């Protein structure tokens, strides 16, 4: 009875496990790695691809000439022969890796020697043809080919594919049985990504941010260009890193150089935020809100406002401490803080916060990248009048650069807030489409009439206001400057500023929108003198390369 029970256990219960052990003992598995999908720009320029490289390994039990094998391997790959001998003789595993990611020429050289116990298999080596171009956005992969940042991480499942393998039958020493046919399971290559990025525009941004770093030696410089419906046409952040020489073991450097600051870091937007305040006011006025100010309303010319014991002043000291009488358009031209304070307080916390929320502040934009921050917005119930006053001109609120750009875009594109996106198509190597991304309209934030009026105001800012250094003869360019304070340990860090400019053209029907940010420039005074000229160079580059 015991024998019968034991047979039942061995054959039925334990049988599957024994089969697996036998298969492992009598077979040798060589992986066939899937080719990781390519990433291209919108026109097919390859930005990330996979090189044909190989891993060389040894099965110690199949080595018949240890001295000959180690001599050849050490000479071909510049390895220490003694260490290699020890590794082969003393290992308890069936296979040891000798080298990874070597070129085909090395494998061809080894093939001439017919070395017993030496094998090779194709592996995955990610390659970026343009080194630093779009570095943080593309991201990079681990040593085994998995995405760990940027698009490489966000779309890792689509890019990775499925590995295959070759199964050889072998004897107890690990030597292949010559009369047995190997079993081959092909790999399924990863899908490819076609981005919204335009390689030519990306090159322009790289050159402009490089110039900013060279001329102003700032902490950082960044620029982004989008279409009016949220297609990201270019993103550049400096300092950067070479994607073909990523220091995977240096986390501090990776965090410093690989961070996607345009979506991950928040800052006070400063005067660029005034576009929202002006838009909210006009939209309310056009819709019959008697608390809003008309286009022709003349604001109090005093440079100061006193709110809950706090003194808020304008940056300008002209006219002996008083502005000339100003309407809303002129207030944008002169970037006068007190006038925007008047608007926010007149609209009231509830109504003003409705616009702040609808423009997308305090929430992620939804871009297809990992690590996006939502910014910092004081909860409405906690906002006091002094807070509301400062928010009106871009203080006491923090946003990511992308949030600011998307909000401003909605103010001038007809009033539509869109989700930004980077991947237009996901497709197979044979060209079959897996998915296509279309513009995603989130909300209507202002009326088209309001949007047209704001666009005309911002064109005047460039043609004869604070943004005139972004003016291009013969082209309708609109924009707004920003010079934001920086804080350290909760207090203003004197003399430290983030300088920015948001521009768009043609002003009456935007096709290209650009945000340039320079953090702590040396020798720069305002966003109007640092960031606006850089934005002009971006637009001039686009005009030239697109033949506009």
What is residue 349's predicted lDDT score, i.e. its pLDDT?
Answer: 94
Q: Where in the chain is the domain with CATH 3.90.1310.10?
A: 30-195
Q: Which residues are catalytic?
A: 271
Is the pLDDT at 494 greater than 80, yes or no?
no
Q: Report pLDDT digits (tens) over 84-95.
A: 888 887 767 777
Answer whether 503's CB lies under 8 Å from 478's CB: yes
Q: Report pLDDT digits (tens) over 261-290.
A: 999 999 999 899 999 999 999 999 999 999
- Residues 90 and 83: their CA atoms lie apart, in Å, by 11
37: confidence class by pLDDT, cuts 50, 70, 90: very high
Query: CA torsion, points 230, 233, 237, 242, in degrees to nearest 10?
Result: 130
- Residues 355 and 293: their CA atoms lie apart, in Å, by 16
What is residue 75's predicted lDDT score, i.e. its pLDDT?
Answer: 86
Is the pLDDT at 410 greater than 90, yes or no?
yes
DSSP calls for 19-74: HHHHHHHHEEEEEEPPPPPPEE-TT--EEEEEEEEEEEEE-GGG-S-HHHHHHHHH
Backbone angles phi, psi at 458, to 5 degrees: -70, -25
Query: Which contiguous run of DSSP H or E holds residue 164?
Result: strand 164-169
CATH number for the domain whose boundaries are 199-546: 3.40.710.10
What is residue 150's predicted lDDT score, i.e. its pLDDT?
Answer: 97
What is residue 275's predicted lDDT score, i.e. its pLDDT?
Answer: 96
- Residues 476 and 210: their CA atoms lie apart, in Å, by 26
Task: Please provide the average confidence, as pLDDT, over all residues in the chain.
Answer: 86
Collect all residues with Cβ–Cβ distance below 8 Å to 39 and sequence separation of at least 6. 46, 47, 48, 49, 138, 151, 159, 192, 193, 195
Q: Where in the chain is the domain with CATH 3.40.710.10?
A: 199-546
Answer yes or no: CATH 3.90.1310.10 is held by domain 30-195: yes
- C-alpha to C-alpha distances, 477 to 186, 281, 401, 543, nearest whole angstrom: 55, 23, 20, 12
Backbone angles phi, psi at 26, to 5 degrees: -105, 5
Is the pLDDT at 358 greater than 90, yes or no?
yes
Residues 238-244, mean pLDDT to the nearest whole number: 95
Q: What angle do CA 75, 76, 81 make, to 5 degrees?
A: 40
Burial status of residue 409 (CB atoms within 10 A of its CB: 0-12, 13-18, 19 or more) = buried
251: confidence class by pLDDT, cuts 50, 70, 90: confident
- Residues 267 and 399: their CA atoms lie apart, in Å, by 6
- What angle, rounded to 10 degrees, do the helices at 337-347 and 274-286 form? 50
183: confidence class by pLDDT, cuts 50, 70, 90: low
What is residue 21's predicted lDDT score, i.e. its pLDDT?
Answer: 42
Q: Report pLDDT digits (tens) over 278-332.
A: 999 999 999 999 999 999 998 877 777 878 777 777 766 554 445 567 899 988 8
Answer whether 137's CB lies under 8 Å from 420's CB: no
- Residues 412 and 181: their CA atoms lie apart, in Å, by 67
What is residue 19's predicted lDDT score, i.e. its pLDDT?
Answer: 43
What is residue 182's predicted lDDT score, i.e. its pLDDT?
Answer: 66
Answer whether 368's CB lies under 8 Å from 154's CB: yes
User: Each residue of 332-367: b (16+ CB within 10 Å) or e?
Assistant: bbbbbbbbbbbbbbbbebeebbbbbebbbbbeebbb
Is the pLDDT at 439 greater than 90, yes or no?
yes
């Amino acid at each position: 009875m015991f024998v019968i029970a034991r047979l039942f256990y061995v054959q039925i219960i334990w049988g599957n496990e024994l089969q697996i052990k036998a298969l492992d003992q009598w077979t040798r598995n060589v992986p066939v790695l899937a080719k990781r999908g390519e990433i291209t720009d919108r026109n097919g320029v390859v930005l990330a691809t996979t090189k044909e490289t190989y891993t060389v390994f040894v099965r110690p039990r199949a080595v018949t000439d240890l001295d000959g094998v180690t001599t050849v391997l050490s000479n071909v790959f510049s390895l220490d022969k003694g260490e290699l001998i020890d590794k082969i003789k003393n290992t308890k595993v069936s296979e040891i890796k000798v080298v990874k990611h070597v070129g085909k020429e090395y494998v061809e050289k080894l093939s001439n020697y017919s070395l017993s116990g030496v094998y090779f298999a194709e592996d995955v080596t990610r390659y970026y043809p343009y080194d630093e171009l779009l570095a943080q956005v593309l991201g990079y992969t681990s040593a085994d080919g998995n995405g760990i940042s940027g698009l490489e991480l966000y779309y890792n499942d689509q890019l990775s594919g499925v590995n295959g393998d070759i199964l050889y039958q072998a004897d107890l020493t690990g030597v292949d049985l010559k009369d047995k046919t190997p079993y081959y399971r092909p790999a399924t290559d990863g899908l490819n990504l076609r981005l919204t990025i335009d390689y030519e525009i990306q090159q322009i941004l790289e050159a402009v941010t490089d110039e900013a770093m060279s001329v102003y030696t700032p902490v950082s410089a960044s620029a982004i260009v989008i279409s009016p419906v949220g297609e990201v046409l270019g993103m550049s952040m400096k300092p950067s890193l070479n994607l073909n020489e990523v220091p995977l073991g240096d986390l501090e450097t990776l965090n410093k150089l690989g961070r996607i600051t345009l979506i991950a870091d928040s800052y006070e937007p400063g005067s660029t935020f005034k576009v929202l305040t002006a838009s909210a006011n006009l939209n309310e006025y056009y819709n019959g809100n008697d608390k809003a100010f008309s286009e022709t309303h003349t604001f109090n010319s005093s440079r100061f406002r006193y709110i809950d014991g706090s003194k808020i002043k304008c940056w300008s000291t002209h006219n002996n401490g008083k502005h000339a009488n100003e309407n809303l358009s002129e207030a944008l031209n002169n970037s006068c803080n007190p006038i925007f304070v008047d608007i926010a307080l007149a609209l009231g916390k509830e109504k003003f916060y409705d616009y702040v929320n609808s423009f997308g502040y305090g929430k992620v934009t939804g871009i297809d990248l990992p690590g996006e921050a939502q910014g910092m917005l004081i909860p409405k119930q906690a906002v006091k009048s002094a807070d509301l006053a400062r928010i009106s001109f871009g203080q006491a609120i923090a946003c990511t650069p992308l949030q600011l750009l998307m909000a401003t875009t909605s103010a001038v594109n007809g009033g539509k807030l869109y989700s930004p996106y980077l991947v237009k198509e996901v497709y197979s190597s044979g060209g079959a489409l897996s998915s296509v991304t279309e513009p995603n309209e989130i909300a209507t934030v202002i009326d088209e009439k309001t949007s047209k009026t704001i666009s005309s105001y911002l064109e005047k800012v460039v043609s004869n206001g604070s943004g005139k250094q972004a003016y291009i003869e013969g082209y309708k360019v609109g924009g707004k400057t920003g010079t934001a304070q920086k804080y350290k340990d909760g207090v203003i860090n004197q003399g430290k500023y983030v300088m920015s400019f948001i521009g768009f053209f043609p002003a009456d029907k935007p096709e290209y929108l650009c945000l340039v940010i320079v953090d702590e420039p040396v020798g720069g005074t305002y966003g109007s003198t640092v960031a606006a000229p850089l934005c002009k160079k971006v637009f001039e580059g686009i005009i030239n390369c697109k033949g506009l």
